[in-house]
């Protein structure tokens, strides 16, 4: 059974690598996708998986407002209020296939991106829960990437 599992794992890895290579070739062959990919990849913490996912599953990127893109991805907070009761805000809906790689990029950005890291630390020091801070970082990432694609410029970290 273990040998069968190992063979299947190797075959799946080969298939995944082949698909990744094919996706990269398609993006390189298309001038518009290649330019958008370069813009997305210019931001620290955005790797090929997130960039390719955004190009494939979020064609609206760069065409919507920051609120609209956040809601479309599913990282916009919604209120939970009724009468005198005030619940906590929550996220829901959106495109889960985009949110998953965006979450991983948010973890990396929160630790290494020179602009996003202080933002996350500021939220944590203000008493926000870790998951709330990560969702805020996700929203900041997607809105920033949306603006970069809209303006057609590469990401430049602010220098003091």
Taking only the tens place, the pLDDT of each residue in 9-37 is 999 999 999 999 999 999 999 999 999 99
In a domain, 52, yes or no: yes
In a domain, 156, yes or no: no
Q: pLDDT value at position 96?
A: 87
In a domain, 24, yes or no: yes
Strand partners, 81: 86
In a domain, 103, yes or no: yes
For residue 132, give its domain range. Answer: 2-151
The C-alpha atoms of residue 8 and residue 36 are separated, in whole angstroms, by 35
Number of structural domains (the chain) is: 1
Per-residue model confidence as pLDDT tens digits over 118-156: 999 999 999 999 998 999 999 999 999 999 999 999 998
In a domain, 9, yes or no: yes
The C-alpha atoms of residue 9 and residue 11 are separated, in whole angstroms, by 5
In a domain, 157, yes or no: no
Helices 66-73 and 130-151: crossing angle in degrees, nearest 10, is 130
Q: pLDDT value at position 80?
A: 62
Helices 116-125 and 130-151: crossing angle in degrees, nearest 10, is 150
């Amino acid at each position: 059974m273990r040998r069968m599992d190992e063979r299947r794992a190797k075959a799946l890895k080969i298939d995944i690598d082949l698909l990744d290579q094919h996706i990269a070739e398609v993006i390189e062959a298309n001038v518009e996708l290649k330019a958008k990919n370069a813009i997305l990849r210019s931001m620290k913490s955005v790797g090929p998986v997130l960039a390719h996912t955004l190009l494939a599953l979020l064609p609206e990127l760069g065409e919507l407002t920051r609120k609209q893109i956040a809601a479309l991805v599913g990282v916009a907070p919604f209120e939970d209020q009724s009468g005198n009761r005030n619940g906590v805000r929550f996220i829901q809906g959106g495109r889960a296939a985009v949110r998953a790689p965006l979450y991983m990029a948010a973890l990396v950005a929160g630790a290494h991106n020179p602009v996003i890291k202080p933002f996350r630390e500021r939220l944590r020091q203000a008493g926000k829960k870790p998951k709330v801070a990560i969702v805020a970082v996700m929203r900041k990432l997607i809105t920033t990437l949306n603006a970069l694609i809209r303006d057609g410029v590469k990401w430049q970290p602010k220098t003091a």
